[in-house]
Copies of this chain bind each other. A is one copy, B any other.
Amino acid sequence: MTEAAIGIDIGGTYTKFGLVDVEGNIIVEGSIPTESNKGVESYMAELSEAIHSKMDNYPNPIDIKGVGVGAPNGNYYKGTIEHAPNLGWEGIVPFVDLFKTHFNVPMVLTNDANAAAIGEKVFGGAKDMNDYIVVTLGTGLGSGFVTRGKLIYGHDGLAGELGHINVDPDGRECNCGKRGCLETYASASGIKRTVFKLLATNKVETPLRNYNYETLTAKKITEMALEGDPIALEAYDYTADILGLKLADAAAITSPEAIFIFGGLAKAGDILIENTKKYFERYLYPGFKGKIEIKLSELMDRNAAVLGSAALVWSEIVNHDVIKVPQQSKVN
């Protein structure tokens, strides 16, 4: 009998899942299109079938200890997904309650970036840290803030919306309904918008002029930046400037030991990380300068959100002691 946690990462395009053992090995994995316009119940039936089918093909019987789910706008306290702008389901989806009809095991659900943050602690680079931030640069920008070894959930279970802090209240339209949110600049879709802005304001030659808005991808921009394309590099610099500024603001509030960056844009490596560090240090409260690391997530080439969702099961359902929290009270 193999013990495993099911980790599920619900993204705007795909839902990924994996069965993860207590050491962080993904023993089975797969994905289905999210296609949330199909309706929640048929989506869940398809997801459940995909997981069961993978389990059936696994050589040993599997003892499922629980299900961890990471989803945009996931509400940890209620097990719901609430008004997620990047998913097609309207209103409040009682995800955990509905999914129990497919897997009758303990479940825990949170924001996808919160799940990645727990993954960083249980399986990644934050093993010995109690105060850190994980930022995921995907289609949008997600974040998980950990302090005293625990996620900040806030009063309603929805904390960690760094992607929606304000860069320019009159700026770019955001899926959330506001304008100028950080994720309209610092994300895969944000950097594409920046390239289009730069193509409009500069006359420099670049193959990027041959792409229309539908065909240009962040992956292409990253490739071009790594080849030295001036517009792609300037787009990364612009992104790093805004991201560095807002990370400095976040750090002023929570004073983390490190900020881990995860996601497609981070594949640009130093072009993103070193540039972001430069601006971060420039905008940081002087008392904090030189004390906070900005680094790539150690789960970069792994399935961080699936690992993180599964880590939630191992840390919160199976064993509350997976995450060690020191007593930080300081009486002199």
Question: Which A residues form the contact surface with B (CB < 8 A)?
Answer: 66, 73, 76-79, 82-83, 96-97, 100, 106-109, 129-132, 143, 145, 147-148, 150, 152-162, 164-166, 169, 176-178, 181, 245, 248-250, 252-257, 282-283, 285-288, 291, 316-317, 320, 328-332
Q: A152-B254, A154-B256, A253-B254 are in contact. List 13 more A-B contacts (CB 8 A).
A: A73-B287, A77-B330, A106-B332, A132-B155, A143-B253, A147-B153, A157-B255, A158-B287, A159-B253, A169-B282, A178-B285, A181-B285, A250-B253
Smallest Cβ-Cβ distance to A84: which chain B residue:
B287
Contacts of A330 in B (CB 8 A): 76-79, 108, 157
* Interface pairs (20), CB distance under 8 Å: A100-B332, A106-B331, A108-B332, A109-B332, A129-B155, A130-B155, A148-B153, A152-B255, A153-B255, A155-B255, A156-B291, A158-B287, A161-B255, A161-B288, A176-B287, A177-B286, A178-B285, A178-B286, A181-B285, A316-B331
Cross-chain contact A249 with B316 (CB below 8 angstroms): no
- A255 is contacted by which of B78, B79, B158, B257 (Cβ under 8 Å)? B158
The answer to whether B162 touches A253 (Cβ under 8 A) is yes
* Dominant secondary structure at the A interface: loop
CA distance A183 to B249 in the complex (A): 13
The distance in angstroms between the C-alpha atoms of A287 and B96, with both chains bound, is 20
Contacts A152-B147, A166-B245, A255-B155: A107 and B286 contacting too (C-beta < 8 A)?
A: no
> Within the complex, what minimum Cβ distance (angstroms) separates A158 from chain B?
5
Kindly list chain B residues whose C-beta atoms are within 8 Å of the C-beta of A145.
253-254
Which residues of the other chain, B, contact A286 by a CB distance below 8 angstroms? 83, 176-178
